[in-house]
Amino acid sequence: MSGQTRKHKLMSIFTPTKTLFSKMAWAAYNTYRKGLHYRQRLADMDARLNEGRESIAQFQWERLRKLLRHAYQTTPYYQTLLDSLHIQPDDIRQPRDLLQIPTLEKSTIRAQLDELLSRAFPKHRLMKNATGGSSGTPLIFYQNRAYWNQRNLSVYYFDRWAGWDFGERQLIVWGSLPDVDRAMGLKQRMNNFWRNYRWLNGFDLTAEKMIDAFEQMQRWRPQTILAYASSLHLFAECLSENQLTPDWKLKGIISSAEMLYPHYRKLAENVFKTKVYNRYGGREVGLIAMECKAGRLHINCHDLYIEIDSDAPYTQPGEILITQLNNYAMPFIRYRIGDVGVLSDEVCPCGNSLPILGDLMGRTTATFRTRSGKLIHGGYFTQQFYEIKTVVQFQLIQESYDLCRLKLVVNDKFTNETHEWIVRQIKEALGENVEVRVEFVDQIPPPTSGKIAFTISKIE
Ligand SMILES: [Zn+2]
């Protein structure tokens, strides 16, 4: 028996054994570590979300009213707000009454973070989170354990539409700095092992690394891929240029965190010979909508109540407003997430009765390129700059290989040291010889499409 064949035989025995091990590890983790009757809860979600639209709407509405009462009773922000408007939570009896409550803006969250926290939770028990990615105003907020348990359950629930299941092999192409840093640690490496995940850093995608990852995939045969939309596109482009095609069957690809452009989808589906499922979510609120096999984006009505800020939400696109129904630690009610969309009243041919998001627009991102051919995800910069308290807003524009413009809105505590540090970070990523032109401005006006792009690359 040749070495290659022996290795192959070993793999073919090892792989199903590993999957079985991972399934058992998942069960143990969810049951004993998280204390979740997860199979039962997933079955309950399934039953509830298949009861028909009227029943789903009633379920959402009851939870929304409960959240509203909680927000009023335990957060200074909502108490003051509703009192100033002479509204009691019980006055909100039907969806149109909700229009009386002002939308929640990112600027408000930034200015009144503490007032938005529920006094029912000690702050040290809360989990801090922040928006990443390359779009949306960077923002810090808090969530609690029960919220995260449900958030993860919803991801499990919807990811199964794309072929994922507990313990099955998944390649993750993800580029959020803290997430990837954690992935490097021993603890996370062990987590990846028992969960049956492998990672490819979306912030560091060179042709060499992508080809190497592909060769490993040919042996490991992941059943699904979870990827940043732009990273998935780069990966597919690289494989296509090198005429590499998978010789195993992928069940599906989940594209997330960014806008899935039609040309991204087309190339990835051609190269990987499987369907790409668009998953729309936000760090602030969790999974918002998931694409089904019939290609429609179904709204996660179990966890969210969605409105479109438009006179005709079924025909005229508007900004998406989200009420997160589970985050009792820091209620998000009518939160303006910064994406534009429209609802659809279509009944989906897939048979699922969850309402549909007709179209999703206005998320932007950019990939930076260096002369040496290195690709840097725009989110790489946002991730580093969002924690700087003296920077109110920023926009990094790569004009050419040699010139970057950085627009900064800063407060009066901004120092020269911070200025130099930012320039150094950009040069470290893009190259010492790149000129970084810093422009201090009063504001960065959003484009008419809605959302400010924090990173823009003009290099094609
Ligand atoms: Zn469907």
CB of 307 closer than 8 Å to CB of 98? yes
CA of 86 to the centre of ligand 1 (A): 41
Instruction: Find the distance separating the first CA and the last CA of the chain, reported in whole Å.
Output: 50
What local confidence, expressed as pLDDT, does residue 134 receive? 42
CB of 273 closer than 8 Å to CB of 247? no
CB of 79 closer than 8 Å to CB of 333? no
CA of 294 to the centre of ligand 1 (A): 5
Domain co-membership, 450 together with 346: no
State both tokens at 128: 């801090």
Final residue in a domain of this structure, among 361, 395, 426: 361
Domain co-membership, 337 together with 420: no
Q: CB neighbours (10 Å) of residue 184?
A: 10
Q: Based on the structure, what is the number of domains in the chain?
A: 2
CA of 313 to the centre of ligand 1 (A): 20
Backbone angles phi, psi at 57, to 5 degrees: -65, -40
In a domain, 70, yes or no: no
CATH number of residue 271's parent domain: 3.40.50.12780
Domain co-membership, 351 together with 419: no
Domain co-membership, 265 together with 152: yes
Which residue type occupies 104? L
Backbone angles phi, psi at 384, to 5 degrees: -85, -30
CA of 235 to the centre of ligand 1 (A): 27
Domain co-membership, 27 together with 159: yes
Domain co-membership, 388 together with 313: no
pLDDT tens for each residue of 165-201: 999 999 999 865 556 666 567 888 888 899 999 988 8
pLDDT tens for each residue of 355-368: 999 877 644 445 68
Q: Is residue 316 helix, strand or coil?
A: coil
CA of 297 to the centre of ligand 1 (A): 7
In a domain, 298, yes or no: yes
Q: What is the DSSP letter of 334?
A: S
pLDDT tens for each residue of 233-287: 889 999 999 999 999 999 999 998 777 878 889 999 999 999 999 999 988 999 9
Backbone angles phi, psi at 378, to 5 degrees: -55, -35
CA of 356 to the centre of ligand 1 (A): 8
In a domain, 149, yes or no: yes
Give the Cα-Cα-Cα angle 274, 150, 73 (nearest 5 degrees).
145
In a domain, 254, yes or no: yes
455-457/391-398 β-pairing: parallel
CA of 292 to the centre of ligand 1 (A): 5
CATH number of residue 451's parent domain: 3.30.300.30
197-201/170-174 β-pairing: parallel
CA of 249 to the centre of ligand 1 (A): 23
What would the DSSP string read from start to end of 394-459? EEEEE-SSSEEEEEEEE-TT--HHHHHHHHHHHHHHH-TT-EEEEEE-S--PPPTTS--BSEEE--
Final residue in a domain of this structure, among 361, 394, 427: 361
> Which structural domain range is residue 177 located in?
11-50+144-361
Final residue in a domain of this structure, among 305, 326, 361: 361
Contacts of residue 290, defined as CB under 8 A and 6 or more positions apart, other chains included, come to 158, 159, 161, 162, 277, 278, 279, 280, 297, 298, 300
CA of 163 to the centre of ligand 1 (A): 15
CA of 205 to the centre of ligand 1 (A): 33
CA of 296 to the centre of ligand 1 (A): 5
CA of 348 to the centre of ligand 1 (A): 5
Closest C-alpha among 437, 454, 438 to residue 395: 454
Beta bridge partners of 197: 170
pTM for the full model? 0.79
In a domain, 191, yes or no: yes
Determine the Cα–Cα distance for residues 230 and 259; give it in Å rounded to an integer.
8
In a domain, 97, yes or no: no
Domain co-membership, 357 together with 384: no
What local confidence, expressed as pLDDT, does residue 275 receive? 98
**CA distances for 378 relative to 231, 233, 318, 444, angstroms:** 11, 14, 26, 17
In a domain, 436, yes or no: yes
Domain co-membership, 336 together with 431: no
Q: What is the DSSP letter of 12?
A: H
What local confidence, expressed as pLDDT, does residue 132 receive? 56
Q: Is residue 190 helix, strand or coil?
A: helix
Which residue type occupies 219? R
CA of 149 to the centre of ligand 1 (A): 25
Domain co-membership, 328 together with 216: yes
**CA distances for 439 relative to 184, 334, 368, 382, 428, angstroms:** 36, 34, 19, 17, 19
**CA distances for 40 relative to 165, 193, 425, angstroms:** 15, 25, 48
Domain co-membership, 327 together with 410: no
Domain co-membership, 251 together with 317: yes
Domain co-membership, 30 together with 166: yes
Residues of the chain below pLDDT 70: 1-13, 132-138, 175-184, 361-367, 373, 375, 377, 379, 383, 386, 446-452, 460
CA of 351 to the centre of ligand 1 (A): 6
What local confidence, expressed as pLDDT, does residue 281 receive? 92
Element (H or E) spanning 74, and its range?
Answer: helix 53-74
Determine the Cα–Cα distance for residues 284 and 304; give it in Å rounded to an integer.
12
